[in-house]
Amino acid sequence: MENKIRVRFAPSPTGHLHIGGARTALFNYLFARKYGGTFILRIEDTDELRSTEESVRWIFDSMQWLGLNWDEGAMPDGSEKGTYGPYIQSKRESIGIYKKYAEQLVKEGKAYYCYCTTEELEEMRKKAQLEKRPPKYDGRCRNLTSKQIEEYKMAGRKPVIRFKMPDEGITSWNDLIHKELSFENKLLYDFIMIKASGYPTYNFACVIDDHMMDITHVIRGDDHISNTPLQINLYKALGWELPKFAHLSMILGPDGTRLSKRHGATSVGEYRREGYLPHTIKNYLALLGWSTKDSQQIFEKGELEEKFDLEGCQKNPATFDPVKLQWMNGEYLRKLSKKELYELALPYLKESGLDLSFPKAPLEEIVYLEYEKYKILKEIPQLLSFFFKEKIDYDEKAVTEVLKKPDTAKILSAVKETYFAIPEFKEKNIEEETRKFSKQNGYKNAQVFHPLRVAVSGRTQGPTLFRMIEYLGKDLVLKRIDDALSLI
């Protein structure tokens, strides 16, 4: 591996950072960390109509939340870190970086001004469709005369600058994931380098920037494979050395189609709001198209940075599995200390509108009661809601199948008397007295425990029964038993 690895993540700020983009950022970050390289964040905002400052902030927030700290690039406070800036393409455009190279290529006969209108381009596309051939620009402005150019100018047409693609031969490269890939040049097209607005296009700007920023490896999604031969020909026209290319596999939804919004949450911010941990997302994304030789699933802090390599990347599509993601998040939640779990759960509890001052037991203890069942932080308030209100909502099925069984009223009335007599209302004492009551009265434990749980929580499932009863407190438990008796 080269001594000076330089990789970049170059998102377009036209929305939230989605899962596919986050995976690309992660793989670049891990590659840089594995080989002691430099990880660069470049903002490619040349889509002037859709790029927004808000999207840039979302990208910064998501990257920082995931712990993908970049060594160079645009920073959240508006500054820049590194000596290869500006790291925002609109700033680079404003100082004429792209225009300079475009004009050089025109001067050398490797690019040309194109005055075709939108209508003319649409006509070309339709004609290609009728003739059952790939729609591509037909090169009609490649060799315009001075007179034709003057006429177009007089008509008020604003030109774009197109790259003059070679008509013959093959463009190939050895992709670090897909191995040898090649395209016939005659099937490529004269792509636009500079739009009529003066802004560069993606294919042009990213080549200029990657070269000027000394990028050694371009690691990106395989939807860019078709862009790569265009960019390679541009590198060659400018006489520049090529970086190494690695195209990551596509991410599919559970139904086998390309991952999209219809599959549920697709942005990092949405998963963060749902209550996934950053380490979970990082770990799970790493497994989308990459694996270790022993197919390791759970990685401790710092392990991914040590073990990642491009050799472990697969070219076949990866499937995004929400069920596995939830399982993995549960695994990481269970690794948290009681205090860590409480601090992460607290914002969700506050947001839920529950009365957090209601319980007599410490909140930290209540939150930890169900830690083995949590999959995402967002579900914690609902799982614990009966601790935070005087009157509870009863699950209808629980009332029908448990509370309305014969003998339930008799059992609950007797348990109430038993509990009233317990001097120190603690888990150990409550359990001992409840089991003693069952045995002395000839009941199976389940005959007593199940209605008791429904009476005090309104549910058939929940935390450890006797600890839950202790945390609810004697007065509230006795009152809830009374409420249950009224119900039946």
Catalytic residues: 261
CB 373 within 8 A of CB 380: no
Q: Please, are residues 395 and 459 in contact by the beta-carbon 8 Å criterion?
A: yes
**How far is 447 from 309, CA to CA, in rounded Å?**
57
Q: What are 163's strand-pairing partners?
A: 111
For residues 98 and 118, give the distance between their C-alpha atoms in angstroms, rounded to a whole number. Answer: 24
Query: Rounded to the nearest 5 degrees, what angle is found at the Cα of 339, between the Cα atoms of 334 and 342?
Result: 80
Alpha-helix residue ranges (DSSP H) falling in 16-117 = 19-34, 53-66, 89-94, 97-107
Q: Using alpha carbons, select from 245, 252, 332 the residue that is nearest to residue 288.
A: 252
Host H or E run for residue 81:
strand 80-81
Contact, 375 vs 368, CB < 8 A?
no
What is residue 260's three-state secondary structure? Answer: coil
Pairing of strands 72-74, 80-81: antiparallel
Is residue 460 within 8 Å of 450, Cβ to Cβ? yes
